Chains A and B, each alone.
Chain A
Amino acid sequence: MPQQNPDKLVIGGREFTSRLMVGTGKYASMEQMVRAIEISGAEIITVAVRRVNISDRSKESLLDHIDLKKYTLLPNTAGCYTADDAIRTCRLAREAGLSDFVKLEVLGDEKTLFPDNEELLKAAAVLVKEGFTVLPYTSDDPIVCKKLEDIGCAAVMPLGAPIGSGLGIRNPYNIRIIMDTVKVPVIVDAGVGTASDAAIAMELGCDGILMNTGIAGARNPIAMAEAMNLAVRAGRLAYLAGRIPKKLYATASSPIEGIIA
């Protein structure tokens, strides 16, 4: 199995070998999270920004468990429903993490967690001006993705399906159109339920995948992290290798010449 993948993912001028980004939420324990992230091979990991519990200081800190020399933190704005809240969260994240990378999400609705693209575009414009490297979670809408690129976002992250749904890539055609429309990396964010979903996204030619629940919610998150690692690499290799065209009828693999009968 090829261990080294010569093609790198470049986001905001930084090079990454792994095309899988993973979240840090929903794990049964910090130990399980650390092990899953390690096996996933991810180099970029998402975190959320929340108030410190000042009354109960007994809870352990996430950063006690994460090697910041090894991983690039990608703080998110999960739970923000307005551009202003998302901008405020990004500013806090930069101060806490001392990095400009942010996963910008502005939600429109609690039930679907679909993005509010109007607020997203507003927030993205402000944050890009303030020097952030903005990776926006967005709908699988090529027009919105183009606008996000024009604003100066470092990547676009269309959803494959609703967050945590595990429905896979619901509209592969839109994802392909997005790839034809923008030059920045296209990262499928949300919706991946199992390894084949990840492979399909990568075979379409996506530059990377971001997932959390697909790994953390599996019966065995450590094993699923390894499956996702392999699937993302397999999908990428298959994309680079160039698949055969689909045909309705058979084409023999063995020579016709020399058949004994």
Chain B
Amino acid sequence: MSLEIIVNGESRTTTPLSVLDYLRSLEIDPARVAVELNMDILPKGEYASTMLKQGDQLEIVHFVGGG
């Protein structure tokens, strides 16, 4: 079974995974990012228990150089 989700504005296809497993599949360190799920902050403690659903919108951000 596959799902269509939107990640950082791009359409992506994935299998039903938790947010934590999805981040790992993208080789993203969960400690270094913040995640919004459908425009709401997803607290880090909920990454493992939150399953991705069809149509979910994810924003995954991190810190970069800036002034």
Contacts and interface: CB of A to CB of B under 8 A. Distances in A.
Given A51-B60, A54-B10, A61-B29, A78 B67 contact: yes
A78 B34 CA distance: 17
A213 B67 contact: yes
B63 A33 contact: no
A115 interface: no
A48 interface: yes
B10 A212 contact: no
B50 interface: no
Contacts of B28: 52, 54, 57
A117 interface: no
B64 A48 contact: yes
Interface residues of A, number: 39
Contact of A51 (B12, B39, B41, B59): B59
A114 interface: no
B34 A92 contact: yes
Given A52-B28, A52-B60, A54-B26, A25 B10 contact: no
B62 to A, nearest CB: 5
Nearest to A212: B67
A92 B8 contact: no
B61 interface: yes
A63 B9 CA distance: 24
Contacts of A48: 63-67
Among B34, B60, B66: residue with most chain A CB under 10 A: B66
B64 to A, nearest CB: 5
A82 to B, nearest CB: 15
B36 interface: yes
Among B12, B41, B64: residue with most chain A CB under 10 A: B64
Contacts of B29: 61
Interface in A47-78: 47-52, 54-55, 57, 61-63, 73, 75-76, 78
B17 interface: no
A23 interface: yes
Contacts of B3: none
Interface string A69-113: 000010110100000000010011111110000000000000000
A62 to B, nearest CB: 5
A163 interface: yes
A95 B43 CA distance: 7
Contacts of A96: 32-34, 61-63
Interface of B: 7-10, 12, 26-29, 32-36, 39, 41, 43-44, 59-67
Closest 3 pairs between A and B when the two form their complex, measured CB to CB:
A48-B66, A212-B67, A23-B67
Interface of A: 23-27, 33, 46-52, 54-55, 57, 61-63, 73, 75-76, 78, 88, 91-97, 163-164, 190, 210-213, 216
20 contacts: A24-B67, A25-B65, A25-B67, A27-B65, A46-B66, A47-B64, A48-B64, A50-B61, A52-B28, A52-B33, A52-B62, A54-B60, A62-B63, A62-B64, A63-B63, A78-B67, A92-B34, A92-B59, A96-B62, A210-B67
